[in-house]
Structure 1
Amino acid sequence: MRATRAIIRLDAFRYNLRLVRSRVGSARKICVPVKADGYGHGAVPLAKTALEEGAEFLAVATADEGAELREAGITAPILLLSIPLPEEIPELIVDKLIPLAGDRDFVRELAATAEQGGEVLSVHLKVDTGMGRIGCPPESAAELAALIAGSKHLKLGGVATHLAVSDSLKQDDVAYTKEQLTRFGRAVEDIKKAGIDPGLVHTANTGALAFHEDAFFDMVRPGILLYGYAPAGAEQVLPVKPVMELVSQIMFIKQVKKGETVSYGRIWTADRDTTIATIPVGYGDGLPRRLSGDFQVRINDAWYPLVGRICMDQCMADLGPNTAIRRWDSVSFFGADALSAADLAAKLGTISYEITCGINKRVPRIYVDT
């Protein structure tokens, strides 16, 4: 086991799921996205925990991600959120994944492949109400729903859209989200007027969970919220807990004299005699190199700055001239009582998703469920 580890707190994940359940009520279904290896937390353990807590659906981005869940013995419904290649369709049919479809050509491709295997494939219609990625225009939803429902080998299991700025409280963004919901509502009504059962109607992502109760419909799809990060302004409504903590241990301690430099590029020079700790975490593990010289770590309940360039496998902290810290003492980078992934993201001008997803496979995950 490496000194560097990602501690995954399943108890915090359970807590966050229960917050969502209390927010949306018992009648609505919860779809838990576990794409990108569960946002870096581990898809299979998080999926199993979500289902234990009463989540009804899971969601992935690729057919391979869905296959991983099936191979782990998971039988719950799994939404496939991205469009697969034609050659991947047989695989998703075998694994009983539920694709999103938003154009006639793809619907026909799904129907033809399902027919070859004698299967009936559940499909959710994706409506593009303003996200601008995939999906049909709202005015075409009824026509496409009829194409799906009219196929002997397809079944319309649901209708969905995705909200672009639901996590923002800016006036223009709130208005945009309301307009998206209006367009979506009209599309669903058009489907119903055509005599077609739309199945599960769903759109609410993390931002909508916090700020737009009119987006809850039949099922909600909270993403990063479940992993411990709510949009700004939602802390009172959804006080979630971070699920991942990145920790390590000091592997080497040395004395550095005033005027000496540390690490690549010699960007840091000691302004006094001091003590430097080397920690086996670097950008090869997912610690962004851009944090060099602008980040602190927690060591034994105190905070110390990282100095010099973050390397692929190591980084260095300035412990000061007088220290009781010793080799193998623990170091926390983010999560739990340390800085959060959101704090790192704010420094880098990015989002917490990128931080947790970036902690790569060479960092072992340790699952804690208290």
Structure 2
Amino acid sequence: MSAAVPNVSRLRIPASAPTLAIDLAAIAANTRRFAETTRGELMAVVKADGFGHGLADVARTALGNGATWLGVTSIEEGVAVRAAGVAAPVLSWLNPVDCDIETGYRHQLDLAVPSVSHLDAIIRSGCPVRVHLQLDTGMARDGAAPEEWFELVAAARRAEVAGRITVVGVMGHLAMADRPGHPANAAGRTALLCGAEMVTRAGLRPKVRHLAGTAATLTDPSTHLDLVRIGVGLVGIDPSGSTRLRSALRLTAPVVQLRRVPAGTGIGYGHTEVTERPTTLALLPLGYADGLPRTASGRAEALVAGRRRPVAGLISMDQTVLDLGDEPVDPGTDAVLFGPGDDGEPTVDDWAEWAGTIPHEIVTRIGSRVRRCVR
């Protein structure tokens, strides 16, 4: 006879458990700041579950504080927006040629068109989708290559005349927006404006041209055009480093075990760190499976009882050890892995530096085992 499987819905989560607190007031304040920065419309990009902050919560908060559009990558994300009861215009811009166009149309999603093949797929679907023609403005990534743009525009004009699509936007992306003044940004703007002019010469009348993301919106008004797309800026990250925004995340975990050890004690897998003196070690119940970057081992810190304490040894899949020195704390005390930094705790930027990555990766990698708390 097989063992009974526990009813997961009845399991009690400890009052003190790894918790990611999401501050919607910070997202609201950041959105208002961007809305005041530009004369154009503001698209709140809520891809990747709202950059790890909750797609529905970020979408509703942004729309209530100045955003008028929403941006996602996939049709599935767009459907999730609609499932949350959000009625604002939604653009999805990273879909394969064989994506479910009918579902996107049924949920009133705008679709980006980066190639003639994508346009042909929309026409074959029989769904008169609203589209944004997408030009590669210098990234060799998504968007139609400049040499293909004329063909795409001409095909879009024929399709619109036939009632197969409605062209409502022209879009591109800047490769160097986090480096204000880089010549690639001016080149990208010129490319988008020239591409948009070709669209209007063909007889199309798109309502919005959009190019700027968070960094360009903060540093280069010439790129704002008719609409700006704000993603990580909503949650407090400025890739350009020019503006202090409000961080919307606070990650905590309780001390589940304390251990007093002598000098010469090896810590964790591989004994990558050996204690040089008697000290107290604190164990936290989260690790790289929960989103802490293993590459930050030996450099990262957490705030415990008002002081920063170093991570000792390697960050494991489920566990992280802190060196408390001679100032032990009570079991159950919360360690703050990152937060806004107001109380001296590490920030997302700190963790990105320790891990050799960008803040975007830190906030989007926190795993589902970590409890979410929206405030």
Q: Which residue of 2 aligns with 1:74?
A: 86
Tell me, what secondary structure is at the counterpart of 1:310?
coil
Return the alpha-carbon distance in structure 2 between the equivalents of residues 15 and 354 of structure 1.
Answer: 22
Quote the residue 1:112 is aligned against. Answer: 124
| TM-score calculated relative to the size of structure 1 | 0.92
Q: Tell whether 2:264 aligns with 1:259.
A: yes
CA contact (8 A) 1:292 1:308 kept: yes
Q: In structure 1, what is the Cα distance between the partners aligned to 2:99 and 2:65? A: 35
Provide the rounded CA distance (Å) in 1 between the counterparts of 2:193 and 2:361.
Answer: 32
SS of 2:234's partner is helix
Which runs of no fewer than 5 residues in structure 2 stay unpaired? 1-12
Pair 1:150 & 2:161 matched: yes
Check 1:46–1:354 CA distance in 2 against 1; reply closer, same or farther (3 A cut): same
Q: Is the 8 A contact 1:148 1:156 kept in 2?
A: no
Structure 1 residue identity aligned to 2:31: L
**Cα distance in 1, alignment partners of residues 162 and 142 from structure 2:** 22
* In the alignment, structure 1 residue 20 sits paired with structure 2 residue 34: yes
> For structure 1, which segment, 42-51 or 77-86, has the greater mean C-alpha deviation from structure 2 after superposition?
77-86
Change (3 A) 1:233 1:270: closer
Distance 1:132 1:6, change over 3 A: same
Aligned partner of 2:32: which letter?
R
**What whole-Å deviation, never above 9, does each CA across 1:81-134 have from its counterpart, x for those lacking one?**
202342522221222211100222211210221x2xxx4210111011212112
> Which residue of 1 is the match for residue 365 of structure 2?
358
CA distance in 1, matches of 2:37, 2:322: 42
The runs of at least 4 aligned residues of structure 1 exceeding 3 Å deviation read none
2:106 aligned with 1:94, yes or no?
yes
Query: For residue 90 of structure 1, what is the amino acid of its counterpart?
Result: E
Residues 3-18 of structure 1 aligned to structure 2 (within 5 Å)? 3-18=17-32
- Sequence identity, in percent? 30
Secondary structure at 1:276 match in 2: strand
The alignment partner of 2:276 has SS state of coil
Residue 343 of structure 1 is aligned with which of 338, 344, 350? Answer: 350
Match of 1:129 among 125, 133, 137: 137
> How far has the Cα of 1:149 moved from its partner?
2.4
CA distance in 1, matches of 2:114, 2:97: 14
Residues 305 and 318, structure 1, Cα contact 8 Å, conserved in 2: yes
2:305 corresponds to 1:294: no
State whether residues 14 and 50 of structure 1, in contact with CA within 8 Å, keep that contact through their aligned partners in structure 2: yes
The correspondence for 2:225, drawn from 217, 232, 241, is 217
Moved more, 353-362 or 85-94: 85-94
Is 1:51 aligned to 2:63, yes or no?
yes
Match of 2:183 among 145, 156, 175: 175
Q: What corresponds to 2:9 in structure 1?
A: none
Could you tell me how far apart the structure 1 residues matched to 2:159 and 2:209 are?
16
Question: Normalising to structure 2: TM-score of the pair?
Answer: 0.91
1:84 to 88, 96, 104: 96
* Counterpart Cα distance in 2 of 1:203 and 1:45: 25
User: Given the superposition, is the C-alpha separation of residues 318 and 273 from structure 1 closer, same or farther in structure 2, using an over 3 Å criterion?
Assistant: same
Give the aligned partner of residue 325 of structure 1.
Answer: 329
Q: What is the deviation of 1:145? A: 3.9
Q: Return 69-78 or 15-24, whichever deviates more.
A: 69-78
Which amino acid in structure 2 is aligned with residue 17 of structure 1? T
- The within-5 A match list for 1:220-299 is 220-235=228-243, 239-299=244-304
CA RMSD of aligned residues (A): 1.6
CA distance in 2, matches of 1:91, 1:349: 39
Cα displacement (A) at 1:349: 2.1
Please list the CA deviations of residues 213-259 of structure 1 after superposition, one character each: whole Å capped at 9, or x if unmatched: 11111110011111111134412xxx211111111111111111111
